[in-house]
């Protein structure tokens, strides 16, 4: 009955006049428009004016036509008059037609919509929060990198300073060599006596280990001067005991660096330490087994750290006595070694030519005895090291600071005396 009534009201323009047959797509669309209460002829003329192709009839729909579709798009086109409110019945279908006309075709509009959405869409939470603050681990790593770069720059600067000081020292050595050759006197490194160019006495080439020790010792002296100045300023400012202790400990640690440096060169070239060529001429006058005599230094310091308590005086006097006894024992051992060495190399006749078998045996025994000199030098350095640390334990922090300043000033005056001696006017 519904079909007959709807077909009776359908205008004749939905029938193909040329063929006399029905257009099924137009009939289907007219049926839906009739159910919505719209005039099919008006919609037909509107579509023809817009150049739209009429939709075709879906002969095999996915759902029965009498069942209400669940799709949102279809339900929007079939809104009941009760839900439309004050709108006219033709407005839903017009909105559906406009929505179909506005649907973009092809991939280019889709890309434009995507770009628009990316540009105008809501920003993420990380973008709204702004730049992210580095975590503590990253900050600590950055700080470590900066500290490593700073230390690298300091090492490079110290290395350049060492090269410059080595260049200055080499220039001075060349000048001394030229002066010695001009005077015809013996000088280390293969110079001659009396200008006799035919009979060199000895070649005293400095080993690479000894040269390295000289460079490091020169650098140590520069650092020692700086640390001593800091300690003197701290004493003059009357800093508290806990703050002054830091400067005293720094002085002791720097002194230990020199002891470690000497132990390294003693293993490689002990005779360089014993000869004292790394010291100034005035300091070499007081050399004892590659350094100073600890007992003599204690005598100098007794008058520099007063006032002392009775217990401190007893402790320092006991330290001086035990140190002097150890020095005598080492000196007697070194003297016995020298005598034994002399007996070894003179056990055979000194007449020429010597017996080669006996000669090589004597040299092998002499080398074994010479190797014990390294042990003597190490024991002497240990004695000096123990004396400094023992004084630090007996004295208070402020007394120890004055004691270390007195030691530094004593050796500074010896070096100054050597400079004055070398710069003195010389008579022809």
Question: What value does the mean pLDDT of the chain take?
Answer: 74
Residue 323 near residue 383 (C-beta atoms within 8 A): yes
Query: In the prediction, which pLDDT does 254 show?
Result: 95
The C-alpha atoms of residue 200 and residue 147 are separated, in whole angstroms, by 54
Query: In the prediction, which pLDDT does 358 show?
Result: 78
In the predicted structure, residue 93 carries a pLDDT above the cut 70: no
Residue 273 near residue 266 (C-beta atoms within 8 A): yes
Q: Which of 161-175, 239-253, 404-418 has the lowest mean pLDDT?
A: 161-175
Query: In the prediction, which pLDDT does 118 show?
Result: 46
Average pLDDT over residues 61-75: 48
Residues contacting residue 402 through CB under 8 Å, at least 6 positions apart: 235, 304, 305
Residue 283 near residue 266 (C-beta atoms within 8 A): no
Q: Which of 132-141, 229-238, 317-326 has the lowest mean pLDDT?
A: 132-141
Residue 29 near residue 53 (C-beta atoms within 8 A): no
In the predicted structure, residue 211 carries a pLDDT above the cut 60: yes
* Phi, psi angles (nearest 5°) of residue 191: -70, 170
Query: In the prediction, which pLDDT does 185 show?
Result: 40
Q: For 104, which DSSP code? A: -
Q: Which residue has the tokens 């006595």?
A: 321
Q: Which of 111-115, 274-278, 383-387 has the lowest mean pLDDT?
A: 111-115
Q: Bigger pLDDT: 144 or 188?
A: 144
The C-alpha atoms of residue 238 and residue 246 are separated, in whole angstroms, by 14
Closest to 276 measured CA to CA, from 368, 348, 380, 352: 380
Query: In the prediction, which pLDDT does 167 show?
Result: 83
Average pLDDT over residues 276-302: 91
Give residue-wise pLDDT tens across range 1-40.
344 444 444 444 444 444 444 455 566 666 666 655 555 5
Q: Residue 337 corresponds to which tokens in the numbers above?
A: 């070694």
Going by pLDDT thresholds of 50, 70 and 90, the confidence category of residue 361 is confident
Residues contacting residue 55 through CB under 8 Å, at least 6 positions apart: 25, 28, 29
Average pLDDT over residues 152-172: 85
Helix (H) or strand (E) holding 2: helix 2-9
Query: In the prediction, which pLDDT does 179 show?
Result: 66
Domain segments of the chain as ranges: 1-79+88-95, 157-170+207-422
| This prediction's pTM | 0.53
Residue 89 near residue 81 (C-beta atoms within 8 A): yes
Residue 277 near residue 290 (C-beta atoms within 8 A): no
Scored b (16 or more CB within 10 A) or e, 23-50 reads beebbbbbbebbebebebeebbeeeeee
């Amino acid at each position: 009955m519904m079909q007959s009534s709807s077909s009776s009201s359908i205008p004749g323009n939905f029938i193909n006049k040329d063929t006399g047959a029905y257009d099924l797509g137009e009939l289907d669309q007219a049926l839906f428009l009739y159910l919505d209460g719209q005039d099919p002829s008006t919609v037909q003329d509107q579509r023809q004016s817009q150049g739209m192709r009429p939709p075709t009839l879906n002969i095999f729909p996915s759902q029965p036509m009498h069942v209400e579709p669940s799709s949102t798009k279809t339900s929007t086109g079939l809104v009941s008059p009760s839900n439309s409110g004050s709108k006219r019945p033709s407005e839903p279908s017009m909105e559906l037609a406009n929505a179909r006309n506005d649907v973009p075709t092809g991939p280019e509009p889709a890309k434009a919509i995507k770009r628009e959405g990316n540009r105008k869409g809501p920003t993420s939470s990380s973008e709204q929060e702004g730049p992210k603050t580095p975590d503590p681990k990253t900050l600590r790593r950055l700080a470590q990198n900066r500290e490593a770069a700073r230390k690298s720059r300091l090492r490079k600067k110290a290395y350049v300073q060492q090269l410059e000081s080595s260049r200055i020292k080499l220039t001075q050595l060349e000048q001394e060599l030229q002066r010695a050759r001009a005077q015809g006197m013996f000088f280390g490194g293969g110079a001659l006596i009396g200008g006799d160019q035919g009979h060199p006495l000895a070649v005293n080439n400095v080993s690479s280990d000894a040269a390295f020790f000289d460079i490091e010792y020169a650098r140590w002296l520069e650092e020692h001067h700086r640390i001593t100045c800091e300690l003197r300023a701290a004493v003059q400012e009357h800093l508290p005991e806990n703050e002054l202790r830091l400067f005293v400990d720094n002085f002791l640690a720097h002194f230990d660096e020199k002891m470690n440096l000497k132990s390294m060169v003693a293993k490689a070239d002990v005779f360089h330490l014993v000869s004292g060529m790394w010291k100034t001429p005035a300091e070499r006058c007081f050399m004892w087994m590659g350094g100073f005599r600890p007992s003599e230094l204690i005598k100098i310091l007794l008058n520099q750290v007063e006032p002392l308590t009775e217990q401190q005086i007893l402790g320092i006097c006991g330290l001086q006595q035990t140190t002097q006894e150890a020095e005598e024992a080492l000196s007697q051992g070194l003297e016995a070694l020298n005598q034994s060495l002399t007996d070894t190399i003179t056990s055979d006749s000194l007449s020429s030519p010597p017996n080669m078998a006996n000669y090589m045996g004597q040299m092998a025994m002499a080398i074994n005895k010479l190797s014990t000199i390294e042990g003597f030098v190490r024991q002497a350095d240990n004695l000096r090291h123990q004396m400094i640390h023992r004084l630090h334990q007996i004295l208070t922090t402020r007394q120890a600071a004055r004691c270390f300043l007195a030691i530094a000033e004593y050796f500074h005056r010896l070096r100054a005396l050597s400079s004055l001696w070398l710069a003195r006017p010389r008579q022809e």
